[in-house]
Structure 1
Amino acid sequence: MKRIITILSLALFCLCTQTYAQNRADELMKQAQESLAKKEYIKARYLFLQAYNSFASQEKYAPAVECGVNASALYHRENYYKEAFELLRSAEQLVGSGEQKLKKSLPDLRFRINKERLQMYIDIKNPTRAKEQLNKLAETAKAAGNDSLSNDFLYTQANYYYTFGMNTQGDSAFRKLIERYKQQKNYAKVDECYKKLIDIARKANNATLVARTYDKYIVWADSVKALAAQDKLNILKNKYDGSLATIQEKDDSLSAKQYIIIGLCILTAVLAAALVIGAIVLLRFVMLTRKQKKAIDTANEHNELKSRFIRNISAQMEPTLDTLDPELPGVQALRTFSSHIQELSELENSLSEPYEVQEKNISAFCESIMDKIRNKVQEDVSLTVNAPKLNVKISPEHLERILLHLLENSAEYTPAGGKIWLDFKKRGAHTHQFIISDTGCGIPEAQRENIFKPFTEIKNLTQGDGLGLPICSLIATKMNGSLTLDSSYTKGARFILELHA
C-alpha cells in the first residue's frame, strides 16, 4: 500500500512540475512578444531565448522554433550574425531530433529556420549563400505540399531576386503569387502583394521598379473597383429577384407586399449610396497613388541633380585653385575638400560594384600599417598589433585606406604615454573584424550620431573637412562590411570594421 502511495505521489509531482514548466514557457513567450511590440529589443531577445530553451527541454518543437527564429532575427538586427547563425543551427538540430522521435518530417519548421537564415544572407549581401538557402526553401516547400508555405516561398524568392538586382526573375515569382490569389478570388492578398513589392523596391532604392509596380497597382485597383461594383450589383439583383418571388408567393397579403417593396427601395438606395461613396474613395486613392509616384520620381531626379551639381562645383574649383599658392593652408584644405567631394560622389554611385580581393597574411599586413604611423604619435605612445599569422582574402588597398585613416586619427588625439591597439578577430567562418582602440580624448556623445554622415556641420576646412569617416564607411560597404563606433568603450575611441567574405 505504501509503495502504491509513493508511486502516485511521484507521478503527481512530475505532472505538477511539467505543468509549471509549460506555463512558465508560455509566459516567457508572451512577455517576449510584449517587449517586442514595445521595441524593447534586447529584453525581447533575452526572453525569447529563455522561452526557446524551456520549450526545447519539453520537446515542444513548434513554439521552440518560433521563439528561436524570433531571437535570431533580433540578434542579426544588431549585427550579431555569429550568435544568430548558431541559434538557428541549434534550432535545426532540435527539429532533426524531433523528426527522429516523432518518426515524421517537420518541413514547416525547417522552412521557418531556412527562411530566417536566407534573410540574414540577403542582409549581409552574400548572394552565393543566399542562393543555397533559397534552394533549400524550395525543396522544403515542395515536400510540405502546403499552399501557405508555397505562397510564402514565392514571396521570399521574389525578395531575393529584387535584392540582388534580378528584376526579371523577381517579376516572374510575383506574377505566379498574384495569379494564385486571383484564381482564389483573394483580392485582399493581391493588394497586399503589390504593397509588399513596392516596399521591397523602396528599400532597394529601385525607382524604376517602384514606378512600374505603381502602374500595375493602379490598373489592378481599377479592375478591383469594377469587380466590386459588379459584385454589389449582382447582390442587389439577387436580392431584388428574391423579393419579387416573395411578393408573388404572398400575393394574398397586399399589406405584406407593400412593406417588402418599401424595404427593397430603401435597401437599394442605401446600397447605391454605398457604391457611390466607395467609388469616390477608390478614385481618391488612385489620385493619391499617382501623386506619390510623381513625388518619388521628382525626388530621385533631384538627388541625381544634387550629385551632379556637387561634382560640377568640385571640378570648377580646380582651375581657380591652380592659380593660387599651393603652400597656403587654405588652398591645400580646399584641394583636399574638392578631392573628397568627388570621391564621396563616386563611391555613392558605385556601391553595387565590389572590390577585387587578394589573399594576404593578416599579421604582416596589420604590422605594416601600424609602422606607417610610428613617426606621427606623441612621446611614449604604445603601439600594439594583435593579429594571428593567418591568410585572409581582403582588398588590401582599400582596407589599408580605412585602417590608416583611423590609426592617424588615434595618433592625433592620443596624448603622450597613451596606447593605440589594432586587433584582428574572427567572428565566424566568413566574418572577421578589425578593431582600432586608443586612450585618447574620445568622441563627444553629441557628435557620435553624425560622424559617418557628410556635411552635417559647418567646419573650418583647414582643420579637416569631416569627410574622412563618411568615405571610410562607404568603402567598408563596398567591401561587403560595415564601420561602426563602439559607444560602450569609454577610455578613448574604438572603431570596429566588420567584413563578410
Structure 2
Amino acid sequence: LPPLGDVVRADLWLGPRAYEIDIAAREVGLVLVYHVILRDVTERKEEAERLDQLARDLAIARDQAQAADRAKSAFLASMSHELRTPLNAILGYSELVAEQIELPEAQADLARVHAAGLHLLRLVDDVLDLARVESGVVTLSHEPLDALELLHEVVDAVQLRAAAAGKSLEVQCEVVAFRSNRQRCTQILTNLVVNAVKYAVPGRVVIGARPGELWVEDEGPGLDEEDERRIFEPFTRLQDGGEGVGLGLSVARKLARALGGDLVVSRSSLGGARFTLELSANAILADATLLERAS
C-alpha cells in the first residue's frame, strides 16, 4: 500500500482481461482512507502487443530484403562477367577469322555471327542495367559536360546507320554546358536516336539541347495515346519483327530518374515523336566559363 499522499500504480491480469490500478491514501479525520481506481486496459495492451509484433515482423522483412539486395548485387556482378566474357570471345574471334578468310560466303556467315553477337551483348547490357537500376546498385557521378560535344558524340556513333536507313541527323544546341553523368546521358540519347532511325520514316532526326533538357525528335508517324502510355513499360514493342525485346526505353527512363530527372514522350513539331530527357534542377551550367572552372 502507498504511503500517505502517494499514488501507486500497478498492472493486474484477471483471466483474459488486463487492468491498471491506481491506489492513493489520505486521511479523513482519524481514519486512513484508500482510494482505488481500476481501469480496464485490455484493448490498449492488445494493441501495444500487436504493434510490437508488427515492428518485429517489419524488422525481419527489412533484414530479408537487405539480404536479397546483397544477393542480387552479387548475382549481377557474377552474371555480368559470366555472360560478357564468352560474348566478347565470340565477337573477337569472329572478327579475327573474318580477316583471315577470303571466301565471300564465309565472310557473310561470319558477319551474321558478329551481328548476332552484338545484338545479344546489347540485350545482356539492357537486362543488367534494368536490374542494377531497380536494385539501386548503379552509381551515377555527375560532372560538367560540354553539351555540343556530347550531342556530336551521339551523332557520330549512329551516323552510318542513319545514312543506310535514309535518315539525316541534325543537331540543335541552345545551351553550352550542363552537369550530369556522361556515360548514362550518352546511353540514353543513343538509344533514342537509334530508335528514331530504326522506326521512323525516311527524313530528319533531330537531337538537341536547351536549358533543362535534352531531346530527340523525328519526322515519323509518331505515337498514339495508348502507345505513349505504355512505351516505357518493360518488354514493350510497338512493331513486330524488329530486333530487341523492348527494354531500351524502360532502361532509359529508369536511368533518367536515377540521374534526378525524367524521360517523357510527346508529339513532335516535325510530326513524329519527341522524347525529352528532363535534367535535374541543379544540372545547368550557365556558360563555358563555368564549364572550364568546374572541370
For Structure 1 versus Structure 2, the TM-score category normalised by the shorter chain is: 0.5 to 0.7
Where does structure 1 differ by over 6 angstroms across 4 or more consecutive aligned residues?
227-230, 323-326, 459-462
Q: How many Å separate the matches in 2 of 1:293 and 1:386?
A: 52
Task: Please tell me whether the aligned partners of residues 333 and 461 of structure 1 are also in contact (alpha carbons under 8 angstroms).
Answer: no
Structure with the higher fraction of residues in helix conformation: 1
1:476-495 equivalences under 5 Å are 476-477=256-257, 480-487=259-266, 491-495=271-275
Q: 1:463 aligns with which of 226, 243, 264?
A: 243
Task: Please report how far the alpha carbon of residue 332 of structure 1 lies from its aligned counterpart in structure 2 after TM superposition.
Answer: 4.0
Task: Please report how far the alpha carbon of residue 415 of structure 1 lies from its aligned counterpart in structure 2 after TM superposition.
Answer: 0.5
Which position in structure 2 is the counterpart of 1:387?
Answer: 173
Which position in structure 1 is the counterpart of 2:219?
Answer: 439
Task: Please tell me whether the aligned partners of residues 452 and 469 of structure 1 are also in contact (alpha carbons under 8 angstroms).
Answer: yes
Task: Please tell me whether the aligned partners of residues 406 and 436 of structure 1 are also in contact (alpha carbons under 8 angstroms).
Answer: yes
Q: 1:282 aligns with which of 41, 48, 61?
A: 48
Change (3 A) 1:299 1:489: farther
Q: How many Å separate the matches in 2 of 1:462 and 1:312?
A: 30
Task: Please tell me whether the aligned partners of residues 351 and 474 of structure 1 are also in contact (alpha carbons under 8 angstroms).
Answer: no
Which position in structure 2 is the counterpart of 1:156?
Answer: none
User: How much is the aligned-residue C-alpha RMSD, in angstroms?
Assistant: 4.5
Q: How many Å separate the matches in 2 of 1:410 and 1:433?
A: 18
State the SS of the aligned residue for 1:423.
Answer: strand
1:354 to 2:148 alignment: no
Unaligned runs of 5+ in 2: 1-8, 13-18, 95-109, 284-295
Which position in structure 1 is the counterpart of 2:252?
Answer: 472
Which position in structure 2 is the counterpart of 1:308?
Answer: 74
State the SS of the aligned residue for 1:377.
Answer: helix
Which position in structure 2 is the counterpart of 1:139?
Answer: none
Deviations 1:354-413, CA, capped at 9 Å, x for gaps = 14334x2x3454355445544433777554433237344555454333222211211112
Deviations 1:397-432, CA, capped at 9 Å, x for gaps = 54333222211211112112x432223222xxxxx2
Deviations 1:256-308, CA, capped at 9 Å, x for gaps = xxxxx9xx88x62xx1xx23332222112101210121112212322332343
Which position in structure 2 is the counterpart of 1:336?
Answer: 122
The alignment's TM-score, normalised by the length of structure 2, stands at: 0.61
Structure scoring higher RCO (CA < 8 A, sep ≥ 6) equals 2
Which position in structure 2 is the counterpart of 1:400?
Answer: 186
Unaligned runs of 5+ in 1: 1-226, 252-260, 427-431
Change (3 A) 1:307 1:228: farther
Q: 2:204 aligns with which of 419, 422, 431?
A: 419
State the SS of the aligned residue for 1:340.
Answer: helix
The alignment's TM-score, normalised by the length of structure 1, stands at: 0.39
1:220-369 equivalences under 5 Å are 236-238=22-24, 241=25, 245=28, 268=38, 271=39, 274-318=40-84, 322=89, 327-328=112-113, 330-345=116-131, 349-358=136-145, 360=146, 362-363=147-148, 365-367=150-152, 369=154
Q: How many Å separate the matches in 2 of 1:310 and 1:393?
A: 28
Change (3 A) 1:489 1:299: farther
Structure with the higher fraction of residues in strand conformation: 2
1:36-185 equivalences under 5 Å are none
Which position in structure 1 is the counterpart of 2:293?
Answer: none
**Identical-pair percentage:** 21
